[in-house]
Amino acid sequence: MASPTDEGAFKTPKNVRVRSFLGNGGTPVTIPASPFMKKLGCGTGVNVYLMDRAGKVNASPWAVKKINSKCATKQLAVYQKRLNKEAKLLQGINHPNIVGFRAFTTARDGSKCLAMEYGGEKSLNDLIEKRREDGLKAFPAANIEKVALHVARGLQYLHNEKKLLHGDMKSCNVVIKGDFDSIKICDVGVSLRLDENMKVLDPKAEYIGTEPWKPKEALEEEGGEITDKADIFAFGLTLWEMMTLAMPHLEMLEDEDDDNEDNEDDEDSFDEDAYYERLGTRPALDEGALGSSYRKMVELFYLCTEENPKKRPSAIQIVQALESNSLLAKTPSEVIVGD
């Protein structure tokens, strides 16, 4: 639960009456002040809160994304633009594996609030961290396969129907409800438009992503062509996260965290050169520690993290293979779906 100090000093909070961009005639929406909502998490420049709508008939809670008031002034405009973009995109998205749009509102101080479907109390990253803290190993293969299928369905919809590259796939941007009863992609604020060939429409558009999940072609020094396959590389690393309970290319920090309670020397001992050399590559995976039940997910991870984007499967190929319970097969020159 977020405490009042999470948002810094504030005057006596009041509910803010705002109007949404929903197609409901501009029905007023009341968004509680941040200290009166449970803080679900945070991202770059934003905080996400749980908005309880218990007073509404048959109303489910909303997740409300707000700009972090502690951001430097020069960054506020950037994050505001990103939130505006996400709101507009979400209004046109309707898929069971992507969090839905609920309202986009303006507070009295001019700040924006994006209200979304509440996809689940935990992100996949939260579940990974909890499992690691409990001393457990990889998620059961069935859970990983279910996440793979549902996330791939969401990506297929974004890529093929909406012509959008998500642009920041990772465990933090997958929300889970219950015992994997619901699996949804969130945070489309840095997505990029795709053309009919699945290439980023604007060659000058910046791929934001998150460094450890970036494919080789998205790294600044590479300057490669960005396509839908950038999401596939990050998708593969998300499956790797579930099998290793680690962060891509930073697994040595996880070991240090376990061995060094004070963590005072972590920064000094971190091999920055080795880290940057590994970015955009496939992290190691101990297949022997996983067992035969993980065969399909191990294979999918390897295919999705091919350095050459053309050798990675598309989202639709992944969905077809998983729905038909077949294996993805690879030849030296191409990736195909087969038995």
Q: DSSP letters along 130-197, please?
A: HHHHTT--SPPHHHHHHHHHHHHHHHHIIIIIS-EE----SGGGEEEETTTTEEEE---TT-EEB-TT
Alpha-carbon distance values, 219 to 110, 138, 280, 308, 326 (Å) = 35, 29, 7, 14, 33
Structure tokens at 16: 């803010």
Going 42 to 44 to 46 to 52, the CA torsion angle's sign is negative
315 DSSP assignment: H
225 DSSP assignment: P
Contact partners, residue 142, CB within 8 Å, separation at least 6: none
Is 168 an active-site residue? Answer: yes
Asked whether 193 and 200 are in contact (CB, 8 A), the reply is yes
Strand stretches in 85-146, DSSP E? 101-106, 112-117, 122-123
Active-site pick, 109, 126, 168, 259 = 168
Catalytic residues: 168
